[in-house]
Structure 1
Amino acid sequence: MAAAQTEHEVPKSMLCPKFLHANSTSHTGPFSAIAELIDNAYNTDAKQIWIDKTQIKDIECLTFMDNGNGLNYELMHGMLSDKKVVNDKHPTGIDGNVFKSGSMHLGKDAIVLSKSKNDLVMEEHLASLTDILEHSPFNTEEELLTELRAIESSCSSTGTRIIIWNLRRTSSGKPAIDFITDRYDISYSL
C-alpha cells in the first residue's frame, strides 16, 4: 500500500489498525515480541541493546535502545508500510512485520527515534514534529530531544530508541509484563 499524506504532507502508513492488532497476535507472549525487536536491532549492526521500563509523564513505557547504525527516513517509514519485493529481493524481516508485530504485541503505541551518520533533517520532515507532539507523550521539542540524546549516552553517535506505551494488560487489568514481583527479572502474566 502506498503512503498517504497527512495535512502536513507527512507520509502516513496505510495499514489498518485492525491489521496491526491481528498481526500482533502472531506472538505467543511478550518474550517472542521482545526477541523480534532485539533481532531487528542486531540487523543494524548494534553491538549492544538496552531494554528498560520507564515512566514518561506517569505513563509506563518500555524502551528499546541500541547503538547500531541507525535508521534513515526511508527505513523508518518502511517500518510501518507494506514491504514490496524489488528485483527478486525480499525486504528485511519476514514480510516486513518484525517491528509491527513485536511493538504492537507489547503496547498500543510506539515511537521510533533514530540517529544515523548520513541522514539529514530536511524541511519537509519537520512537519512530522507537529504530529509527534500531538500524538505522543511528548509535548515539546525539548522533551523529544531529551529522548533522542539518550542514544548519545550509549557512547555511540548512531543508534535507535523505540518507546512503547499503552502497554498490554491482562483481562484483570494488570500489566502483562510484571516488573514488580522480582525487581531483577521480569515475568509474564496471562
Structure 2
Amino acid sequence: MKIFALATAIVDGTEEAAELRLADYTRYVDTESALSLFGGWTGVDLSGTKPDDPLEHVATEANQFALASFTTLAGDRTWTIRNLAEFVAIGGRGPVITSSPATIADELERWMSEADIDGFNIAAAVRPADAERFTKYVSPELRRRGLLPEPVECATAREQLTGQGPHLADDHKGAGFRLGANALV
C-alpha cells in the first residue's frame, strides 16, 4: 500500500514572490463559503459566529476528525473562525506550503523522510495556474534530487505510477468488469 499526503503548493521563482501570490489569493477568500464547506465536512453550522470567536470542539455524527484536527488535536494553538475560514479557503484540509521551488522540495522531502509517506496529492489553490507553476518550478527540482522520475512520453498514469501496463492486471478484481470485444457501447 502506498500512502499519499495532501498538500497545496504556492510557488514562484522566489520566496517573496510566492508570499505575494498567497497574499493576493487571500484577498479573494469568501469566508462564508469556506465555513459552509467546513460545515459540510463536520456537520457544524458556524453561521452566526464572529470571525474572532475561538473554534470549539463539539461532537457530531459527521466527519469528527476534521473538527478535531482544528480543536482537540491542534496542540497549543487556538483557531479562530477567521483562521479556519482562511485555511480552508486556500488549502482545504491539507497544509499550504508557500515558498521557492527549493524550499518546497525540501519540505516535501522532509515529510517523505520523517513520515515515511510515498508521495503527494498536490492541490492547486488557483487552477490551472498553481498546477502549472508546480510543474514549471518544483517538478524539475524534485527530478534533480531523484524524487520524481522523468515522464514517460505517451504513458498512462497507471503505467507511470506502477511501471506496469496501461490496464488493470488480469488478477485485479476490477478486471472482471471489462467489456468483451463484442460489447455494444
Q: Same fold (TM over 0.5)?
A: no
Q: Tell me which of the two structures has the higher relative contact order, counting C-alpha pairs closer than 8 angstroms and 6 or more residues apart.
A: 2
Structure 2-normalised TM-score? 0.23
Structure number having the greater strand percentage: 1
Structure 1-normalised TM-score? 0.23
Q: Highest Rg: 1 or 2?
A: 2
